[in-house]
């Protein structure tokens, strides 16, 4: 079997793309996107007529158009997969619990009106304290959440305590940060802080029997992916999926609930908002990457808004 086929026996493989042709070809169980990927897919020349028609129907209201296009993209992806599709709330709402909840409810209502089973939708938001609290409430309403832009153990602990369905720790972005901080061009996977972070989170969740799933994300290489074989889910870009499909090597499971139980016991904690804030202030990785990630997603939305505004004008 190829490395990809072996990985499938240990981990749920998720396609990290908004490209419908790639999703149709790869046939993943789940699919996850972010504003950058959705923007890239929507501004493709093949979609210009659809964008123009949507703008006309909403009389040029860019925010309304972007929300509708987001849902339409989710519906299109949903039709191609058997599992769940993640739909991200506007990153501008990342520090507003109520606004995040309201937008999530609006998205779920739109999906239901489109005939999409909301059980197969994950509402995606940044793992700020406000985003995690929004997810805590939404989960009580049987609305499943995917907390993204997750870089620190304190974020993961708070997500598990809030009962969120899924978290997406960003492996590659942590590695990028590590390389900059350590002035290194290459970091062996055994020293990769992104890989180590996911392993630590997985260990904590399994030792304390949390239902929250761990989905490694933002990969830079197949070596990072294989170092997390056995993680609940891995969301992988199409080019790396293709690379795994071409590899003929033996894949060794690196993570499992039983393996986690054999490791040193980790103390279970529950963080107050003040403790969460203190942990954030002590975590240089999250301090740097979380706001930068939010700004990046806002920038992607702004890019789409500019393209739509140009059509309107």
Longest dimension (CA), the chain: 62
Distance CA(253)–CA(231), nearest Å, equals 9
Residue spans of the chain under pLDDT 50: none
Distance CA(304)–CA(300), nearest Å, equals 6
Fill in the DSSP letter of residue 313.
-
What tens digit of pLDDT does each residue of 176-186 get? Answer: 999 999 999 99
- Amino acid 61: pLDDT: 83
Dihedral of CA atoms 30, 245, 188, 194 in degrees, nearest 10, equals 0
- Amino acid 313: pLDDT: 65
Distance CA(1)–CA(151), nearest Å, equals 33
Active site residues: 124
**How many C-beta atoms surround the C-beta of residue 182 within 10 A?**
11
Residue 194 tokens, joined? 């992104």
Tell how strand 166-169 and strand 233-236 pair up. Answer: unpaired
CB 209 within 8 A of CB 226: no
> What is the pTM assigned to this prediction?
0.94
């Amino acid at each position: 079997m190829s490395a990809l086929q072996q990985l499938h026996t240990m981990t749920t493989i998720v396609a990290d793309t908004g490209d419908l042709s790639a999703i149709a070809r790869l046939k993943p169980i789940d699919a996850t996107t972010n504003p950058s990927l959705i923007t890239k897919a929507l501004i493709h020349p093949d979609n210009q007529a659809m964008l123009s028609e949507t703008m006309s129907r909403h009389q040029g209201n860019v925010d309304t158009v972007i929300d509708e296009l987001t849902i339409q993209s989710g519906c299109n992806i949903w039709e191609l997969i058997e599992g769940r599709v993640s739909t991200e709330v506007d990153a501008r709402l990342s520090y507003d619990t109520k606004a995040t909840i309201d937008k999530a409810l609006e998205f779920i209502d739109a999906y239901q009106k489109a005939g999409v089973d909301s059980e197969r939708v994950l509402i995606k938001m940044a793992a700020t304290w406000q985003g995690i609290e929004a997810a805590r409430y939404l989960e009580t309403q049987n609305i499943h959440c995917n907390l993204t832009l997750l870089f620190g153990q304190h974020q993961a602990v708070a997500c598990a305590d809030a009962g969120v369905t899924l978290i997406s720790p960003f492996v590659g972005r942590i590695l990028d940060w590590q390389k900059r901080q350590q002035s290194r061009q290459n970091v062996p996977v055994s020293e990769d802080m992104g890989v180590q972070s996911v392993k630590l989170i997985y260990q904590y969740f399994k030792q304390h029997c949390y239902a929250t799933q761990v989905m490694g994300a933002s990969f830079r290489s197949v070596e990072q992916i294989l170092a997390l074989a056995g993680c609940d889910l891995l969301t992988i870009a199409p080019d790396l999926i293709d690379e795994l499909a071409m590899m003929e090597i033996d894949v060794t499971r690196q993570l499992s609930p039983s393996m986690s139980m054999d490791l040193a016991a980790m103390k279970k904690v529950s963080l107050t908002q003040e403790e969460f804030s203190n942990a954030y202030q002590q975590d240089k990785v999250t301090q740097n990457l979380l706001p930068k990630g939010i700004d990046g997603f806002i920038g992607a939305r702004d890019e789409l808004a500019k393209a739509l505004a140009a059509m309107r004008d």
